[in-house]
Structure 1
Amino acid sequence: MDFIILKEAIAPVAAIIGLAAIGGWIFTTWLRIKHGYPLENSWGKAIYPKTSDEAMERVKLISQENAQLRAELGSVKDRLAVVERIVTDEGHRLEREIEALRRPAN
């Protein structure tokens, strides 16, 4: 008899929890749509990814900027390597190289 009473008490609680979970899922989906986020499947991939012309142009601009920044980073790395070589080089060797640059080429 106690089991039946317990079963009758658990059923409404489980139904309320289930409805609250479904309501929360609907609310978060609505918020994502409202703020322009793409909907995602269970693996985190966009269900309907935005492929508008504006988005494609943005990707192209970001790719160009990325290439420019990579080139600039490469030149900064080269310059840093030269500075590190100068700083860690022995003084007399550096002095000879500077003097060699000062002498006129024959």
Structure 2
Amino acid sequence: MNPFEMVVAIIIVITIGKVLSTRFRAQNGIAEDKDGNAMITSDPDSGRLKEEVTYLKERVAVLEKIATDGRGARELEDEIEKLRDR
């Protein structure tokens, strides 16, 4: 094995090791800050927070539907006019 092949082999081994290390950290909820210090990102409240975000997204979708539904606005205006005419 010549020196060039050895350098390439070392780079490949280091790259594979780094990829596997990053994958392991991501699966276990471990992240690094700017200084390279490991910190655990899995929070005991994360499940509850994810459920709350999902619930809030559903509510926003309903509100968007109500706000952009032109038919409902026209019906509401007609009903208000009927009440004024009484």
Residue in 1 that maps onto 2:53: 65
- Percentage of identical aligned residues: 12
User: Given the two structures, how large is their TM-score scaled by the length of structure 2?
Assistant: 0.53
Unmatched runs of 5 consecutive residues or more in structure 2: 30-39
1:101 partnered with 2:83: yes
Write 1 or 2 for the structure with the bigger share of strand: 2
Q: Give the length in aligned residue pairs.
A: 73
Change (3 A) 1:23 1:72: closer
Deviation at 1:39, TM superposition (A): 1.2
1:18 to 3, 6, 9: 9
Structure (1 or 2) with the larger CA radius of gyration: 1
Root-mean-square deviation over aligned CA pairs: 3.6
Runs of 4+ in 1 over 6 A off after TM superposition: none
Change (3 A) 1:86 1:67: closer
Unmatched runs of 5 consecutive residues or more in structure 1: 1-10, 33-37
